Amino acid sequence: MQRGESDSVVWEVVDIRQSLEENGLRMRWRFALVLKNTGGAPIDFERMETVQRRVGSGDIYGGMNSTALSRHLEPGAELRISRSESWGCPQCGPGSLPRFFSDGIIVSYTLRGHDAAGESVRVSIAVRLNSSVGERK
């Protein structure tokens, strides 16, 4: 189970499912980030930044991304954000793919926003994904 705490938010990664795509050259994980506001003030999230980095060697798909996120989280409430991440190596030979997927990736999410008092809120989440993580579909 992957979970943690950042700022006044407790987070957990749930319902991880994985599948192979593109004739086995790409692995995809679908999951949800569940955030719970443990603070005393509501939070308005405005942006989510995503960074993928490899754990082992090989060419990467992915990189960095920043998207608008308009979500509100009341004190004591939970917010569920569905995610889908994929990782592939089209240049890798078939013999190197098991190691490539076994090493996997770390996806770092940074959710940015503010609370009701106007104070900045930054929630950092790191998710490790590899061939042993999640139910295979």
What pLDDT does residue 47 have? 98
All structural domains of the chain with their residue ranges: 2-136
CA 129, distance to chain mean position in Å, is 9
Give the burial class of 25: count Cβ atoms within 10 A of its Cβ; 0-12 exposed, 13-18 middle, 19 or more buried: middle
Is the pLDDT assigned to residue 57 strictly greater than 70?
Answer: no
Mean pLDDT of 14-19: 96
pTM beyond cutoff 0.85? yes
Share of residues in the chain with pLDDT > 90 (%)? 63
Cβ-Cβ contacts under 8 Å for 93 (sequence gap 6 or more): none
What 8-state DSSP symbol labels residue 96? Answer: G
Where does the chain show beta strands of DSSP type E? 2-6, 9-21, 26-37, 43-54, 64-73, 78-88, 105-115, 120-129, 135-136
Q: Give dist(CA 29, CA 133) in Å, integer.
A: 9
What is the spatial distance between Cα 131 and Cα 88, in angstroms, rounded to a whole number?
12
Quick one: average pLDDT of 31-37?
A: 98
Taking 80 as the threshold, does the pLDDT of residue 61 lie above it? Answer: no
Q: How confident is the model at residue 101 (pLDDT cuts 50, 70, 90)?
A: confident
d(CA 91, CA 132): 22
CATH 2.40.30.10 fits domain 2-136: no
